[in-house]
Each structure stands twice: as structure tokens, then as C-alpha cells.
Structure 1
Amino acid sequence: MRHKSFEGMDCPIAQTLDAVGEWWSLLIVRDALHGLTRFDEFQRSLGISSNSLSRRLTELCDAGLLARHRYQQRPPRDEYRLTARGRDLQPVIEALAGWGRRHVTAGRGGVRLVDAETGAPADPVLVDRDTGKPVNTTDFRYVARRSAPEVKRARMPRS
């Protein structure tokens, strides 16, 4: 159950968490990236209750991350497919997976992203689109914009 909305915060991370921050939601998007589309597939993969899964799928559809497609009329059955907006979460999912492999699971995990041509395991990194430089805390810094909270404007250089 969601305890707080970040709707009023002027922060892309907070706003994104409002759309996908509930932990089951990111796991559903992960499973959709892995090719799962049907309610029973998500439920078997996640071990989530029917009510919780139904609620999460509805929220993800409402957020424009999944689209519902009817594949059977009687009884009515739907598939849930990632939209372009949902597919845009792949780098986020892969960043979380990479961090988890490095710091939590010691490389374990049942699914890995691999190069489609060579089959070699991928090790995605976040890079700056303009320079191609990997984003890190040494070569990049945060700057406070005018809309940043005062506590951050006091600590950070201004843009």
C-alpha cells in the first residue's frame, strides 16, 4: 500500500517513484522485459497474490507503462505488453540488476542480459549521451537549480 505521494516534489526521481516505485511494479516491468505477458505468468514468477497483481497491473497500465490486450473473450483474458514508455525503463532495471550482482548477490541470478549477436554477458553502464563518458562521481557533479530545496542550494554549486 502506498503511504505517500511525491506528486508535489520537483524531482524526477520522486515523480518516477510515484509511477513505478512500488517494489512489485519494478519486478513486473522486469518480467515483462523478460517476455512475460500473461497474468498467470507474472503470478507464477513473482508469487504475488491475485489481488496485489491485479492492482499493480492496473496501475502500470494507468501510468502508460503496460498496455492491456485481450487475447480471449470467454472467459475474458488479457495480456500485458510493455509500451515504449515501459521499455524505456530497461536501463533502470539493468542498472539495479548490475548493482545487485556487484553488491548483493555475488553475481548470482537466473536471468542475464547478453549480446544478441555474440551471447556474451552484457555489463551496462550509464554514459553521458553527448560525450559518451561513463557517469561517475569523479567526472560528474550535481548542481542545484533555482527550484532545488534550500538545503541543497546551500550545499551544491548552482547551475
Structure 2
Amino acid sequence: MAKRKSLKSDPCPVARSIDVVGDRWALLIIRDAFDGMRRFGEFQKSLGVAKNILSTRLRDLVDADIMTVVPASDGSAYQEYILTQKGKELFSVVLCLRQWGEGHLFKKGESCAPMVERTSGKPVPKIKLHTSDGKPLKPEDTVIKKKAGAH
């Protein structure tokens, strides 16, 4: 398998983000961490991914400061993987992907487990983007402002 080109110095923030979390296993590990999983075995059982791939992805997430390794909370010899603040800030990304998937990847009548607010049990509201003056933000309302001298 050919080694993929690193995007960590690409001028585009989307490309740099994809370089870190664009792998499907990485995003699913992050999803599971938001669901409370912390141990290697929990991630492996949930994802059904080969141990060597899981080990590599966890190491990459730790190296990117998205997760950190801590001693097991129960005092055992195990270690746990927990989200750092940087990792927790990916919640909106995971939620947006989830809501997009709910809206576009399930057949009519096909159900998926809803995400609800822990305290109220109510469904999490759909994320909506707004302009600085409060109007709904559409793709055609945005443009990338290039720096002077940039191509």
C-alpha cells in the first residue's frame, strides 16, 4: 500500500484537519470516546478493527494531542485513552456528520438510535449555521479570503 502524502503543511485548514482525523477509524474512535469508551478492548470490540490498525490509529490520535493515555480509572494495570480538550472540540464535527447521515443515508422508515440530551432526554437540535447578522448561512454566502500574494 502506497504511503499517503502528508497534508500537515497544506495551506488549507480542511486539508490539515483531514490529515489528522480524515481516516474512518480515527473518526469512529473519536465517536466511541464521546460515547464513553476508554480502553483499547472497548474500542476493538465496538469497531471490529484489527488490533494493529487500532493501535496505530490510537497512537496517531495521541501524537496529534486529540487523545491522551492515562492510568486506568479503576486502579488496574490497564491504560485508558481519553479525549483532550482539542479532541473534545471535535464534538461538533462528529455531530454534524451524524446529523447529515441521519438526513441522507437512511431509507424512509429505517431507524437509527437518536442522540439525546443526557439530562432532558430530548433529541439534540439540528445544528444550524448563521451569518454574523443571524441569517441562515449558505455555502454561497461564504468565500475564502486569500492572503495578499497567495495564489
Q: TM-score range by the shorter chain?
A: 0.7 to 0.9
Following TM superposition, by how much is the alpha carbon of 1:65 offset from its aligned partner in structure 2, in angstroms?
A: 0.5
Tell me whether 120-129 or 7-16 shows the greater mean CA deviation: 120-129
Say whether the 8 Å CA contact 1:68–1:78 is kept in structure 2. yes
Task: Indicate the residue corresponding to 2:100 in structure 1.
Answer: 99
Aligned partner of 1:119 in structure 2 is 121
State the percentage of identical aligned residues. Answer: 34
Q: Secondary structure at the match of 2:92?
A: helix
1:36–1:49 Cα change, 3 Å: same
1:145 matches 2:139: no
1:80 maps to 2:56: no
Q: Secondary structure at the match of 2:68?
A: strand
Q: What's the CA shift for 1:81?
A: 0.5
TM-score, normalization: structure 2?
Answer: 0.83
SS of 1:14's partner is helix
- How far residue 70 of structure 1 moved from its aligned partner, in angstroms, is 2.0
* Kept in 2: contact 1:10–1:147 (CA 8 A): no
* Alignment correspondent of 1:156: none
**In 1: Cα distance, 2:133 partner to 2:75 partner:** 51
**2:118 is the counterpart of 1:109:** no
Task: Mark the CA change 1:14 to 1:45 in structure 2 (over 3 Å): closer, same or farther.
Answer: same
Number of matched pairs = 147
The answer to whether the 8 Å contact 1:9/1:15 transfers is: yes
Cα deviation for residue 100 of structure 1 reads 0.5
Aligned residue type for 2:117: D
Q: Deviations over 1:75-122 (max 9, x none)?
A: x42100011110100000010011111111246333x32123321111
- In the TM superposition, residue 66 of structure 1 has moved relative to its aligned partner by 0.5
Q: Distance in 1 between matches of 2:92 and 2:131?
A: 13
Root-mean-square deviation (CA), in Å? Answer: 2.5
In structure 2, what residue type is equivalent to 1:85?
K
- Consecutive unaligned residues in structure 2, runs of 5 or more: none
Contact 1:125–1:134 (CA under 8 A) maintained in structure 2 = no
Instruction: Give the 3-state SS of the residue equivalent to 1:99 in structure 2.
Output: helix
* Partners of 2:131 and 2:137 within 8 A in 1: no
Moved more, 113-122 or 96-105: 113-122
- 2:148 & 2:46 partners in 1: Cα distance? 42
**Structure 1 spans left out of the alignment, 5+ residues:** 151-159
Secondary structure of 1:95's match?
A: helix
Task: Give the TM-score of the pair, scaled to structure 1.
Answer: 0.80
Are 1:7 and 1:15, in contact at CA under 8 Å, matched by a contact in 2? yes
